């Protein structure tokens, strides 16, 4: 194998790795963002129907949003592992 073939193969592997990192982050950011928007929308509907229950709705809302955001953070960690390993 010539030196240029090795360099080209290494460049292709790096490009593929960057593509996998980009796909991981794109999917890992879009789905939690959609979920957080949907959760917030439903919470606002519930508070609009029953304003007295706002304090009882807000606590689980914040907890569920934090769990959805954790999925995006896990995606970031996986992307970093793919990038640097």
pLDDT tens string 20-51 = 999 999 999 999 999 999 999 999 999 999 99
> What angle, rounded to 10 degrees, do the helices at 3-49 and 54-84 form?
180
Is a pLDDT exceeding 90 seen at residue 54?
yes
Q: For residue 69, name the pLDDT band (cuts at 50, 70, 90).
A: very high
* Dist CA 70 CA 60 (whole Å): 15
> Among the CATH numbers 2.60.420.10, 3.40.50.1220, 2.60.120.10, 1.20.20.10, which is that of 3-84?
1.20.20.10
Q: Report pLDDT for 20.
A: 92
Phi and psi, residue 34, nearest 5° = -60, -45
What percent of the chain has pLDDT above 90?
78
**Which helix (DSSP H) or strand (DSSP E) does residue 84 occupy?**
helix 54-84
If you count DSSP H runs as helices and E runs as strands, how many of each does the chain have, helices first? 2, 0
| Residue carrying the six token digits 């996986």 | 78
Is a pLDDT exceeding 80 seen at residue 53?
yes
Read off the pTM: 0.75
């Amino acid at each position: 194998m010539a030196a240029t073939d090795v360099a080209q193969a290494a460049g292709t592997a790096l490009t593929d790795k960057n593509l996998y990192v980009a796909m991981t982050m794109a999917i890992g950011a879009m789905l939690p963002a959609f979920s957080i928007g949907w959760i917030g929308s439903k919470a606002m509907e519930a508070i609009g129907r029953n304003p007295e229950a706002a304090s009882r709705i807000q606590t689980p809302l914040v907890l569920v949003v934090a769990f959805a955001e954790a999925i995006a953070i896990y995606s970031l960690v996986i992307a970093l592992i793919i990038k640097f390993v």
